[in-house]
Amino acid sequence: MKKILMAFVLLCSMGFAETEFADPKPAMDNPRQLIFSIASSDAKEVNRIISTVNNVLKFYGLENTEVVIVAYGQGLKSLLKKGDAEIRKRIEALMTYDVEFIACGNTMKTLHIDKKRFT
């Protein structure tokens, strides 16, 4: 019981804790630069990564971040025009927020994927 109470107190105190930014704080002239990778074509995994990017953008603010998502291996398929329609909508929405998507050139060669096939 004592351990449960301690865990509860710890969790409650975390909810009220003020988030501290690293020094210097993110700003337009000093944005947070983040890279995410998509290596799987699994829709749940791709959606998880997209959700994480959205959360980061909300937390730091659009003007305080520069985000790049690199797709390689089977993850490259998530960027294709003929891929999952719901994922494609979410990717296009991120592009409107200047999130940059990069497809691995070696994977493109290996899978014989032309640039014209991307969103």
Q: What is d(CA 20, CA 38) in angstroms, rounded to the nearest whole number?
A: 28
Q: Please tell me the pTM assigned to this model.
A: 0.75
Reading the chain (119 residues) residue by residue, the pLDDT tens digits are: 556 655 555 556 555 555 566 677 777 777 889 999 999 999 999 999 999 999 999 998 898 899 999 999 999 988 888 888 999 999 999 999 999 999 999 999 998 988 888 85
CATH number where 61 lies: 3.40.1260.10
Count of the separate structural domains present in the chain = 1
Range of the domain at 94: 23-117
Residue 69 within any structural domain of the chain: yes
Residue 11 within any structural domain of the chain: no
